[in-house]
Chain A
Amino acid sequence: MKILVPVKRVVDYNVKVRVKSDGSGIDLANVKMSMNPFDEVAIEEAVRLKEAGIATEVVAVSAGLANSQETLRTALALGADRAILIETDVELQPLAVAKLLKAVCEKESPQLVIPGKQAIDDDSNQTGQMLAALLGWPQATFASKLVVNADKTAAAVTREIDGGLETIEIALPAVMTTDLRLNEPRYATLPNIMKAKKKPLETTTPAALGVDVAPRLKTLKVAEPARRSGGVKVADVAELVEKLKNEAKVI
């Protein structure tokens, strides 16, 4: 079975983002970019399925600016077989990405699509669910465990829900979004990074896929949240307990 893994290039999770002074967005100039952490988990899961002999091919897909190629090369270095870049400089919102992925699914016919549960830049947590809806497929979001059945027609997925876990059985093809507990992603080794440069990377566009990607939400303003005022240092445990009881009144 073929697995499709959408990956997104985002600001590295260790970077302190800065709001542009004109309030138009986040300053992305000279900021370290990385693969969205939840997508790393997704690539890892797909590659493990291939290593276990369950999947036959892992295809990584990204949509956005030309430099998303770097993220796709990372996916290839982590074990994806080939990559597809849907290149555009339009600001892509989740519904548009879901429509692009739907068009790719119609061409590639994967049995399983594994997106990360959310991207750590816009924090929307929508694309996987939207893709499943547009395809009329079942979905298993926030997955922490995946077991594909022997004839690859269904899968049991354990999901993170409020207060615990639930396991659902879904028919394949389906969309499964990853949560952090699904696996621990590997690091790309230098030989694999070198090999990744030779793996196929195909480029297409929204127009070629026949998808209208015009944004539906207008960002009017981006602002810094209210800053925390620096607190005080206390001398010892007794003073801390006194402050928590009488000043903060939280205990």
Chain B
Amino acid sequence: MPILVIAEHDNAVLKPATRNAISAATQIGGDIDVLVAGSACAAVAEAAARIAGVTRVRLVDAAHYADHGAENLAALVVANAPGYSHVLAPATAAGKNFLPRVAALLDVAQISDIVAVVSTDTFVRPIYAGNALATVQSVDPVKVISVRGTAFEAAGEASPVSVEALAAGPDLGLSRLVGRELTQSARPELTAARVIVSGGRALGSSDNFHSVLEPLADALGAAVGASRAAVDAGYAPNDYQVGQTGKIVAPDLYVAVGISGAIQHLAGMKDSKVIVAINKDPEAPIFQVADYGLVGDLFDVAPALAAALR
């Protein structure tokens, strides 16, 4: 039976995470249909039709899908689910929002955040913030799966396949978008950043946190993160938090400044490609996961590093 992949987009542009989900679907094997639901989103459907591995694109265009509210989107997916063996979506904030609704309405389990495909019914997913990997087998007739983007290559381009229009479902009217405030920062977003500079409690104050880390982040074009200890101490806002109870990140380069390396912090960043640790305590646990450790006073080292990189 074919696989249905739900595209993520903003009605104008297809989000790259969709390509990683299609890549996971290709590994499962079989025909792949992509559902594009939105409003005035024909350009997205055309982009989806050019992704390698896709058999067919199904487009639903109606005003009540414009904001991708979970209630309407999940109902639409469920109405179109018969005939599919698997329903996949990216494990992004949007995918995590609507996909469990789909699974519940189909009365099946969801397999969250898969990082590997073992067979058509067996998948690997991280548990305990990535401190363990569980191999799970679904006994349900339909497998509803969210895909961790960083674990699958983005599917490439191919010659376009057909786009077929589907009828819209009803507007359930359960929720209404009031507004969006997208961060207009010159810095990249934490979970999408290629480089992250993170600070810990050793920074000592909110002023130091900004005055020491920001020049270094600017020099690297990096996002700024923080340990839970730094957040709890009030040096950085909560949305900076990297760790088991904050954001899980996997950048190419993670620079930990004055972070001792509590377990819950390591859980959030240990999949980074290269880890640099700057800490004055040579016994700090962060050095056990760091590729490059520099023992020294962060108030000397961080500015010197920023200067050397500029």
Q: Which residues of B contact A133 (CB under 8 A)?
A: 74, 100-102, 104-105
A94 B245 Cβ-Cβ under 8 A:
no
Q: Residue-by-residue, is B220-237 near A (CB-CB < 8 Å gives 1, otherwise 0)? A: 100000000000000001
Instruction: Select from chain A the residue with minimum beta-carbon distance to B70.
Output: A139
- Determine whether A208 belongs to the interface, using a CB cutoff of 8 Å to chain B: no
- Determine whether B171 belongs to the interface, using a CB cutoff of 8 Å to chain A: no
Q: Which residues of B contact A248 (CB under 8 A)?
A: 253, 273-274, 291-292
B304 to chain A, nearest CB (A): 5
B176 A225 Cβ-Cβ under 8 A:
no
Take A120-B244, A231-B275 as given contacts and tell me if A223 and B176 are in contact as well, using a CB distance cutoff of 8 Å.
no
* A182 to B133 Cα, complex, angstroms: 30
A180 B108 Cβ-Cβ under 8 A:
no
- Determine whether A22 belongs to the interface, using a CB cutoff of 8 Å to chain B: no
- Determine whether A162 belongs to the interface, using a CB cutoff of 8 Å to chain B: yes
A119-175 contacts to B (CB < 8 Å): 120-134, 137-142, 156, 160-171
Q: Which residues of B contact A241 (CB under 8 A)?
A: 305, 308-309
- Determine whether A198 belongs to the interface, using a CB cutoff of 8 Å to chain B: no
B41 to chain A, nearest CB (A): 18
B299 to chain A, nearest CB (A): 13
Take A156-B178, A180-B245, A219-B135 as given contacts and tell me if A124 and B291 are in contact as well, using a CB distance cutoff of 8 Å.
no
Q: Residue-by-residue, is B21-54 near A (CB-CB < 8 Å gives 1, otherwise 0)? A: 0000000000000000000000000000000000
Q: How many chain A residues touch the partner (CB < 8 A)?
A: 76
* A242 to B238 Cα, complex, angstroms: 34
- Determine whether B294 belongs to the interface, using a CB cutoff of 8 Å to chain A: yes
* A236 to B295 Cα, complex, angstroms: 8
Inter-chain contact total with CB atoms closer than 8 Å: 249
A170 B175 Cβ-Cβ under 8 A:
yes
Q: Which residues of A contact B127 (CB under 8 A)?
A: 26, 121-123, 222
* A94 to B104 Cα, complex, angstroms: 9
A223 B135 Cβ-Cβ under 8 A:
yes
Take A14-B263, A168-B175, A248-B291 as given contacts and tell me if A121 and B137 are in contact as well, using a CB distance cutoff of 8 Å.
no
Q: Which residues of B contact A213 (CB under 8 A)?
A: none
> Chain B interface residue count: which class?
35 or more
B245 A37 Cβ-Cβ under 8 A:
yes
Q: Residue-by-residue, is B106-134 near A (CB-CB < 8 Å gives 1, otherwise 0)? A: 01111111000000001000111111111
Q: Which residues of B contact A216 (CB under 8 A)?
A: 108-109, 138-140
A141 B274 Cβ-Cβ under 8 A:
no
Instruction: Select from chain B the residue with minimum beta-carbon distance to A139.
Output: B70
B195 to chain A, nearest CB (A): 7
Take A162-B189, A166-B177, A237-B301 as given contacts and tell me if A217 and B137 are in contact as well, using a CB distance cutoff of 8 Å.
yes
B292 A243 Cβ-Cβ under 8 A:
yes
* A127 to B130 Cα, complex, angstroms: 20
A-B contact pairs, 13 of them (CB 8 A): A17-B132, A124-B112, A125-B112, A130-B110, A139-B101, A181-B238, A216-B139, A217-B111, A222-B133, A230-B288, A231-B290, A233-B294, A251-B309
What is B's interface to A at a CB cutoff of 8 Å?
A: 69-71, 74, 92-94, 96-105, 107-113, 122, 126-140, 174-183, 189, 191-192, 195, 220, 237-239, 241, 244-246, 252-253, 262-264, 270, 273-276, 282, 287-296, 301, 304-305, 308-309
